[in-house]
Amino acid sequence: MKNRLSDNKYKMIAFINIVVVITVWYLLSEVFQVFRNGMLPGPNVILETFISKLNSKSPDGNTLLVHIVSSLTVVITGYIIGVVIGLPTGIFMAWYRPIDYLVRPVFDFLRCIPGLAWIPVITVWLGIDLKAKAAIIFVNVFVGTVVNVYSGIKQTDQVKIWVAQIFGASHFEILKRVALPSALPYIFTGLKVSLGMAWLGIIAAELLAAQSGLGYMIQVARNFGRADLVIVGMLTIGLIGAFLTYLLEKVEHIFVKGRN
Amino acid sequence: MKKSAIRFIVTFSAVCLMSFSLFAQGQGEKGDAVGENGRPLIRVGAMAYYLSVPLQVIQDEKLDEKYNFDLDIIDFPSGGPMAEALGAGEWDIGPIGAGGMVAIPRYNAMLIADIETTMDGAWILARPDSDIVKAGNTLNDYPNVIGDKKSIEGKTMLGTVGNISHYMGLDYLSKFDLGMEDVNFIHMETAQIYTAFVAGNGDLACLGSPSAAMKLVDQGYVRVGGLAQQDKSQQDAMLVSEDFYNNHYDTTVNFMKAWYEACDKLNADEDYEFEMVKKFYTNSGRTDFDDAGVRQECEFNKYNDSSTALNGEVGKWMKGLIQFYVDNGSMDKSVIEAMNTNIKKDVVRDALTK
């Protein structure tokens, strides 16, 4: 009962926070007009643009739904490939020292290169279609996943490892039965961080080449001076990212003990 | 909810409001700025292209001194960011191309002059072995435009939506009764169009940058269209911010006096023009040009100078560009009215007659 009350209180604070942000935004943009020339359209204008963009193809040739589906395709493709390759890479780097010595210098070098910097070479190597855009997302996701998985495995409790060793567990069995379960919170944190990074990469990916997508919509809107549409694109990216993170948290609650 | 929580929220909101207000009010406000030589300061927006070369002449020939102003040149990579910077009050006067269609109606910039009388170099290129090139010229009215409806339909076109290459690409398609929906128009930035096209991607490259287009021609790609070839003019315009136009009119006139004197010098001597273009590009950090390319660019383009500036309708090209985007639904009709209101002919008239 007490927990439920506390939960409701936090929900109330979160709600008030959103109301305050929207109110401040409205005051700044519509009442005091502190940004000149419509550079910050008010929330009412954004809502109107959002609703009209559901049916309107102007100025980028597609409706909002088409852009969302297009971006989701790129993000999810790059994310899945990044996670599928990043998870084992992080695990094996952390658990097997020779692999760590072999891979880490290259990884440390590659992880400092931002997604945008990959555009010219990816264009030459992979062209301009889905696989090229997914590759830019992959770079972001791979780095985030490896870093978190690596940290999680490395922080396995030494006492638990000793206990497993006393009971005769092999090195691989210790990884499977001790290190991986204890690293699950880190792994899920990595998956969530990487999801955010995947969405961060969508602008860079659609800067490469695009006919549709939220990043593309934002760029075209920018070229036509449509600040309202730029903000609609930003908010849509934020909302979808938050929703996907929420889904991932639900999955985390199933797999990670004590998270409820 | 506790009083302390409410107090915190109210205080936090007030602090946010004040911070944003200060931030917004502070942006780009220069007031009556004075340059390092004590003369009125003009913050000039520029791009490292042909349209900004007279600025080099103004500096080299000390025309700023002669006409009593100091220059602070702010470089931009393209018209989009330059237009946005004008909206933020970061520059006062500057030559701009298609970016003007955003700066004028959205950020209330004033169009005071057209920069060139003739221009070329915005081209559409195809691979030499493509169906489009094989189709040859099929349009009697446009002898330098290559391709036919069948060969173009379904092809992949690379260009930048919302700039001159997009406008040119759509116009090219319209010559064959085609629209954007009949091809795969892929949006890319100019540098990436060049890289992607050379790497084998796309069938048509729409390039607004003469240097990139000329490089492709040198490499054997075939010019199948272009604004000049499609009987469409290409033009840049001189914009002034609303604030500068209203509060520093005389300085604006003085700047245009210097500008036209620089253009007179450039138009009078081809070798001088060639040297100045090269010098400006080099000083701007460009490395993607050679002597032959600069010579060609100088041949294609001619500045509006003191003898031609009062001829013709100022802003006609920009109005046509905006009308084009209004007609295809990319911009709303309100921009036409803003465009018509913001064309000011008095600055050039005063610069050349007073």
Give the CATH number for residue A137.
1.10.3720.10
Q: B87-91: which pairs have CB atoms within 8 A and are 24 or more residues apart?
A: B87/A36, B87/A37, B87/A39, B87/A225, B88/A39, B88/B27, B88/B28, B89/A36, B89/B27, B89/B28, B89/B29, B89/B30, B89/B241, B89/B243, B90/B27, B90/B28, B90/B43, B90/B45, B91/B43, B91/B44, B91/B45, B91/B241
Q: Give A84-135 pLDDT, tens digit per residue.
A: 999 999 999 999 999 999 999 999 998 888 878 888 888 889 988 899 999 9
* Class level of CATH domain B41-117+235-353: alpha beta
Distance CA(A60)–CA(A211), nearest Å, equals 8
A12 lies in the same domain as A138: no
Question: Is the pLDDT score of B29 beyond 90?
Answer: no
Least confident segment among A30-39, B246-255, B343-352: A30-39
Q: What is the DSSP letter of B109?
A: P
The two tokens of residue B158 are 């690379």
A121 lies in the same domain as A204: yes
Least confident segment among A76-85, A110-119, A236-245, B262-271: A110-119
Distance CA(B34)–CA(B26), nearest Å, equals 18
Cβ-based contacts of B163 with chain A (< 8 Å): 223
**Residue B40 sits at the chain A interface (C-beta within 8 Å):** no
CB B145 within 8 A of CB B137: yes
Best mutation target among B8, B11, B17, B188 (most A Cβ atoms within 10 Å) is B188
**Residue B83 sits at the chain A interface (C-beta within 8 Å):** yes
- Determine the pLDDT at residue A80: 96
Q: Give B125-154 pLDDT, tens digit per residue.
A: 999 999 999 999 999 999 999 999 999 999
Q: Is residue A260, in this structure, part of any structural domain at all?
A: no
A25 lies in the same domain as A53: no
pTM: 0.82
Q: Enter the ipTM.
A: 0.78
A25 lies in the same domain as A109: no
Answer yes or no: CATH 3.40.190.10 is held by domain B123-226: yes
A132 lies in the same domain as A56: yes
A8 lies in the same domain as A137: no
B199 and A127 within 8 Å at the Cβ level: the answer is yes
A224 and B108 within 8 Å at the Cβ level: the answer is no
Least confident segment among A157-161, B209-213, B337-341: B209-213
A168 lies in the same domain as A136: yes
Point out the residue among A119, A127, A210 whose CB comes nearest to the CB of B187.
A210
Cβ-based contacts of A32 with chain B (< 8 Å): 17, 21
State how far residue A61 is from chain B, nearest Cα, in angstroms.
Answer: 9
A106 lies in the same domain as A16: no
Instruction: State how many domains chain A has.
Output: 2
A136 lies in the same domain as A176: yes
CA A167 to chain centre: 40
The two tokens of residue B234 are 């290409």
Q: Give B33-67 pLDDT, tens digit per residue.
A: 888 888 999 999 999 999 999 999 999 999 999 99
Nearest chain A residue to B330, by CA: A59
Domain locations in chain B as residue ranges: 41-117+235-353, 123-226
* Pairing of β B222-226 and β B302-303: unpaired
State how far residue B255 is from chain A, nearest Cα, in angstroms.
Answer: 26
User: Phi then psi for B223, rounded to 5 degrees?
Assistant: -80, 115
Mean pLDDT of chain B: 90
Nearest chain A residue to B179, by CA: A61
Cβ-based contacts of A18 with chain B (< 8 Å): none
Q: Higher pLDDT residue, A257 or B320?
A: B320
State how far residue A125 is from chain B, nearest Cα, in angstroms.
Answer: 8
Domain that holds residue A62: 47-255
**Residue B158 sits at the chain A interface (C-beta within 8 Å):** yes
A131 lies in the same domain as A25: no
Cβ-based contacts of A20 with chain B (< 8 Å): 9, 12-13
Instruction: Read off the pLDDT band of A258 (50, 70, 90).
Output: low
Nearest chain A residue to B163, by CA: A223
Q: Is residue A34, in this structure, part of any structural domain at all?
A: yes
Best mutation target among A60, A128, A229 (most B Cβ atoms within 10 Å) is A128
Q: Give B249-263 pLDDT, tens digit per residue.
A: 999 999 999 999 999
- Determine the pLDDT at residue B56: 97
A37 and B200 within 8 Å at the Cβ level: the answer is no
Cβ-based contacts of B29 with chain A (< 8 Å): none
Best mutation target among B15, B203, B324, B330 (most A Cβ atoms within 10 Å) is B330
Question: Is the pLDDT score of B271 beyond 80?
Answer: yes
Point out the residue among B21, B184, B196 whose CB comes nearest to the CB of A34.
B21
Mean of the pLDDT values across residues A43-48? 94
Question: Is the pLDDT score of A49 beyond 80?
Answer: yes
- Determine the pLDDT at residue A4: 66
A33 lies in the same domain as A110: no
Instruction: Read off the pLDDT band of B208 (50, 70, 90).
Output: confident
**What is the crossing angle of helices A119-126 and A130-154, to 10°?**
120
B186 and A209 within 8 Å at the Cβ level: the answer is yes
A100 lies in the same domain as A228: yes
